[in-house]
Amino acid sequence: MAHGLGLVSLAAGLDLSLYQLYSVAAVVGWLSGNVYVHRRRHLPPSFGRRVAALWLIGPQGVPALLRAMAPIEAQAAAPAVPLYSLAVGAIFFCVPLVFGRRPG
């Protein structure tokens, strides 16, 4: 919001390589997936399914923020990187979901 209001400039603040950015997306996705699986055990099943999208997309704001801090030239050269980082995070988010299912 601060960037949208013109209070802070995020451009050219942090130049991460794509490998580092995707690594951050993988870690954030994996951690949020594990936290979601742990929290879901204490929620009613119907409510747990409804908040899954929130747990998936919410923490992925960190890689999006890091990408927004890249130089403008780097952002223009690869405009689909935020979408790819969301996909990487979603894949790693789903791993604990698949292996964390309740038996039966």
SS (H, E, C) the chain: CCCCCCCCCCCCCCCCCHHHHHHHHHHHHHHHHHHHHHHHCCCCHHHHHHCHHHHHHCCCHHHHHHHHCCCHHHHHHCCCHHHHHHHHHHHHHHHHHHHCCCCC
23, 83 in Cβ contact below 8 A? no
pLDDT reported for residue 10: 62
| Coil, helix or strand at residue 66 | helix
pLDDT < 70 positions in the chain: 1-3, 7-12, 101-104
